[in-house]
Amino acid sequence: MATANQDPQNIGFPMAQVVNFTTTNLSNGTVFSEPHTVSGPTGSFNIPLNAISIGGNKIVVPLTSDSSQGASYLKFHLPQPNSSEFYVTFCEKNNSYSDGYYDYQTGIPSQYRTDLRNWIADNPLGLPSQPTSIPKTLTFTVYGLDTNQTSAAIQYTVRFTGVFGATSGGGSQQFATA
C-alpha cells in the first residue's frame, strides 16, 4: 500500500512555498474571498517544461530527462475546490508514495540542488565565469471561480534564480515569486 503524501501546508516554509490568491472588487477596492482556478505552467525555454498532471490538482515538472526513481521534480499544488492556496514543493520520483512523488520536508540533497541549478540555466552554452544571476520564470493563469470571468484572469509568475560563476562550489539558487 502506498504511503500518503504529506499535506504541503504541514511541510512548511522553506520546503513548501505558499501563495494565497485574493480577488479585489475594482469598483470599491475591497478584497473578497472566493476560490480560484489556476492553469499552467507555461514559459519560453530552450528545453520544454514537459509538465505532467498527476491528478488531484497537482502538476510536476521534471528537472532532468531522467524519470526513474529518485529523479528530481518540482511539484505545483494548484488550489483545491473552494480554496485559493497554491503551493510549490521540491520533490523526487518515488513510487511508494500515493501520488508517485516524495516531497522533501527537512532538506534538499546536493544532487537535487545541482539538477535545479542546471534546470534554471536551461542548458545555455558556456555559463558565465563572473557572478551572474540567471532567472527562470514559470507563468500561471489565475482567476476567481465566483466571478468566473476568464477575461479578468491575471498572470502569476513563479521565479527561480540561480547564481552562476560566484563560487568554486558551483553557485547557489534562490526561490522567489513575483
Q: What is the pLDDT of residue 177?
A: 41
Exposure string over 120-146, b if 16+ CB within 10 A, otherwise e: bbeeeeebeeeeeebebbbebebbbee
pTM, two decimals, is 0.84
For 10-23, give the DSSP string: HH-TTTEEEEE--E
pLDDT class for 127, splitting at 50, 70, 90? low
Are 9 and 16 within 8 A, CB to CB? yes
Own/partner contacts of 150-157, CB < 8 Å, gap of 24 or more, are 156/19, 156/21, 156/38, 156/86
pLDDT tens column, 65-106:
999 999 999 999 999 888 899 999 999 999 999 999 999 998
Structure confidence at residue 125 as a pLDDT band (50, 70, 90): low
List pLDDT tens digits, range 14-32.
Answer: 889 998 998 888 889 898 8
